Amino acid sequence: MSLGLYWLILIELIIISIIDIKTKKISNFWPLGNIISGLIFYLLFDLYDWSWPVLIYPLVWLMIGFILFLIGIMGAGDSKLLSSLFLLIPLDFHHLMLEQLIISTLVVGFVNLIMKMARDFRSLKAYAFSAYWKGFLEKIKSRFSFAPVVLLAWILLGVRLWN
């Protein structure tokens, strides 16, 4: 992967993360921009090879993201952003990005869970002792901005590639 492409995506993810933290929404402009940029990159640069395997991660992520959206775990903008982001990432790095995404999601999710449990410990303890599991799960459930998690994964990918 070229350093220029890495920085271009890093800047985009920083901007999207700031917007996502402030508004809790990701505009459809970003995935559309990624799709158009991906098509331009595939036509102009040798870094990309246009083939069906290039579409596996974006399509699978779109389906998984839709399921996670229906369950209420992820926002629609998050899944569209991730799906379109994989169009910008050269095929050789799809698996590495997915690994970093899983790691950053688990770390951020776990830290978020611990903080929520510490903040709501008394309520959670009362729900657990009364076996009111629905209340326990509702209290423990939280939504957080996912774009910063994607940004963290991208930074981890960069550290892995250039160290």
pLDDT at residue 141, rounded to an integer: 73
Residue 91, domain extent: 3-162
Whether the pLDDT of residue 85 is over 90: the answer is yes
Query: Mean pLDDT: which of 4-18, 34-48, 69-83 is highest?
Result: 4-18
Mean pLDDT of 10-22: 96
- In the chain, the percentage of residues whose pLDDT exceeds 90 is 51
Whether the pLDDT of residue 57 is over 70: the answer is yes
pLDDT at residue 51, rounded to an integer: 80
pLDDT at residue 88, rounded to an integer: 92
Q: Which residue has the higher pLDDT, 96 or 70?
A: 96
Find the range with the poorest average confidence among 45-49, 60-64, 150-154. 45-49
Neighbours of 118 (CB within 10 A): 9
Task: For residue 86, give the nearest of 71, 64, 68 by alpha carbon.
Answer: 64
Provide the number of structural domains found in the chain.
1
Whether the pLDDT of residue 42 is over 90: the answer is no
Rounded Cα distance, 41 and 47, in Å: 8
- pTM for the model: 0.85
pLDDT at residue 35, rounded to an integer: 93
Residue 24 DSSP one-character state: S
Per-residue tokens: 104: 């950053």
Mean pLDDT of the chain: 89
pLDDT at residue 142, rounded to an integer: 67
On whether the CB atoms of residues 30 and 67 are closer than 8 A, the answer is no
